[in-house]
Homo-oligomer: A and B are copies of this chain.
Amino acid sequence: MALDMLLARLARLGDRVRTDDAALAAASRDESHLSASLPGAVIFPASTAEVALVAREAHELGVGLVPRGGGTGKSGACLARRDQVVVDFSRMNRILELRTADLYAVVEPGVITAELDRAARERGFMYPPDPASWESCTIGGNIATNAGGPRAVKYGVTHAYVWGLEVVLPGGRVIEVGRRSIKGVGGYDLTSLFVGSEGTLGFITRATVHLVPAAFEVQTAWLSFAAPLLASRAAERVFAAGIRPRMLELVDRVSMDLVRPVSSFRLPEAGAALLVETDGDAALPELLRLAEAAQADDSAVAESETDREAMRRARRLVSPRMKEAFPHKLSDDIAVPRSRMADTLAWAAERAAAAGLRFAAYGHLGDGNLHVNLLCSADELERGAAVRAAVLAHTIEEGGMVSGEHGIGLVKRRELAQQLGPEVVALERAVKSVFDPRGVMNPGKVLD
């Protein structure tokens, strides 16, 4: 009813409002394990003014709005119900300014992440955040989830690259927060409040993001080990020596076996591997020497950009290949203090084994942020859920976070509440009410 009224009021948007099956189906999924959920409509705004119109009318009618970027999220944050409307940002995909002398770009939210990095690289700069899905995810989605990626080990996550935002608030007000200068203080950091808010506070319609100089040599290598624990010890030695690689990724045997058939880089047979990449001062030869001293069996060093990209692509293929092979897998991106990573990983693997479940792990070893996977079949899901709950509780006990980079969405609301505690949850709800008093922005996500 309210939805029909909303669609009537948005008639002037013409074919930018879609209710046909194809459009609804395309917006019904992300990359989480959740089943498809059809929204009531999908809107494809082409400007801030159109977003503001939608925000104003939906606020008045109390219709829930769900922002959507590339649909590559793993938490269900962009899924909507039948009485809600998806707002898809794929038409707002322009790079508006590339001011490299001032170290920033201004972009619309629908810009594909890898495209921004390529545009920056043509001028000798880079946009560091590089989620595995960066050929299809968007800057708007990255900001909404505070996305990470392999390069975070040296460069940090999306949060470090968001200087300022234009935001459309529920009710349709358009505000600008943050800065275009490298430094700047004054008032509360509302920009950071939107980063990682998973679409629950307002629509990001424009972002000023930081670019960094990239006039350096990059070196990439694939190091094989007999077991993940040995790879982890090698990583500890590298960090203890003060080397700061720009990528230090763990891939286990299961992951490599899944990727090998589709990888142009010929993955060696091994119990585990580290994909390492250095730039600038972080010397690859010294890193390799340390890794060999720590029982690396074998190392392949990339000799061209094609080689380097083949190695990185092998790493990026792990998640989609695993999902294809194990559609019912339960996956978590836990984060713990770095020195607790190896033990936490061993603990999780043992629990999985004790429950008779296949287990795989890969990810950002250097950041203490790993993707742990219970490779369940459909009948094993109940056992899987119990192990998963135990792993997340153990993560909290270790001083960690139930999500290192994927976010909460629909899939970890209970665990987040447990991690934060009731006092902080109450504060967060109160902050939400300041921006969205009627609760129309991404209802039911994150805090429920």
Give A contacts to B, CB under 8 Å: 99, 101-104, 124, 145-146, 148, 152, 156-157, 159-160, 173, 175-177, 179-190, 192-193, 195-197, 201, 213-216, 236, 239-244, 280-282, 335-340, 364, 367-369, 399-408, 412, 416, 419-421, 423-425, 427-428, 430-432, 434-435, 446-447
* Interface pairs (11), CB distance under 8 Å: A101-B338, A103-B338, A152-B183, A175-B424, A183-B368, A187-B408, A187-B425, A213-B239, A214-B242, A430-B434, A434-B434
Among B185, B215, B242, which residue has its beta carbon within 8 angstroms of that of A401?
Answer: B185
- The reply to whether B181 and A189 contact each other, CB–CB distance below 8 Å, is no
Among B101, B368, B402, B419, which residue has its beta carbon within 8 angstroms of that of A236?
Answer: B101
- A184-B403 contact, Cβ under 8 Å, with A190-B427, A242-B213, A435-B427: yes
- The reply to whether B430 and A99 contact each other, CB–CB distance below 8 Å, is no
Among B192, B244, B399, B404, which residue has its beta carbon within 8 angstroms of that of A189?
Answer: B192
- The reply to whether A399 and B339 contact each other, CB–CB distance below 8 Å, is no
Q: Which residues of chain B have C-beta atoms less than 8 A from A402's C-beta?
A: 186
- The reply to whether B242 and A424 contact each other, CB–CB distance below 8 Å, is no
Among B215, B335, B431, which residue has its beta carbon within 8 angstroms of that of A242?
Answer: B215
- The reply to whether A187 and B420 contact each other, CB–CB distance below 8 Å, is yes
- The number of times this chain is found in the oligomer is 2
- The reply to whether A184 and B401 contact each other, CB–CB distance below 8 Å, is yes
Q: Which residue of B lies closest to A369 (CB)?
A: B183
Give the interface SS of chain A, mostly helix, strand, loop or mixed: loop
Among B177, B213, B244, B416, which residue has its beta carbon within 8 angstroms of that of A187?
Answer: B416
Among B183, B193, B280, which residue has its beta carbon within 8 angstroms of that of A188?
Answer: B193
Q: Which residue of B lies closest to A181 (CB)?
A: B335
Q: Which residues of chain B have C-beta atoms less than 8 A from A195's C-beta?
A: 189
Other than the given A104-B337, A175-B421, A186-B401, 10 more pairs (CB < 8 A) read A152-B183, A156-B160, A181-B338, A187-B416, A189-B195, A189-B196, A213-B242, A214-B242, A215-B242, A430-B434
**Chain B nearest Cβ from A247, distance in angstroms:** 14
Q: Which residue of B lies closest to A446 (CB)?
A: B187
- The reply to whether A157 and B183 contact each other, CB–CB distance below 8 Å, is yes
Complex Cα distance, B234 from A430, in Å, reads: 50
- A337-B431 contact, Cβ under 8 Å, with A192-B193, A242-B124: no
A-B pairs with lowest CB-CB distance, top 4: A215-B242, A281-B281, A184-B401, A192-B192
Complex Cα distance, B191 from A189, in Å, reads: 10
Most buried by B among A369, A404, A406: A404
**Chain B nearest Cβ from A289, distance in angstroms:** 15
Complex Cα distance, B98 from A339, in Å, reads: 13
Q: Which residues of chain B have C-beta atoms less than 8 A from A408's C-beta?
A: 185-187
**Chain B nearest Cβ from A283, distance in angstroms:** 9
- A187-B428 contact, Cβ under 8 Å, with A182-B369, A338-B182: yes
Q: Which residue of B lies closest to A401 (CB)?
A: B184
**Chain B nearest Cβ from A256, distance in angstroms:** 24
**Chain B nearest Cβ from A179, distance in angstroms:** 6
- The reply to whether A183 and B367 contact each other, CB–CB distance below 8 Å, is yes
- A187-B241 contact, Cβ under 8 Å, with A160-B156, A216-B281, A338-B182: no
- The reply to whether B157 and A160 contact each other, CB–CB distance below 8 Å, is no
Among B182, B241, B282, B368, which residue has its beta carbon within 8 angstroms of that of A335?
Answer: B182
Q: Which residue of B lies closest to A217 (CB)?
A: B281
Q: Which residues of chain B have C-beta atoms less than 8 A from A216's C-beta?
A: 242, 281
- The reply to whether A404 and B187 contact each other, CB–CB distance below 8 Å, is no
Complex Cα distance, B185 from A79, in Å, reads: 19
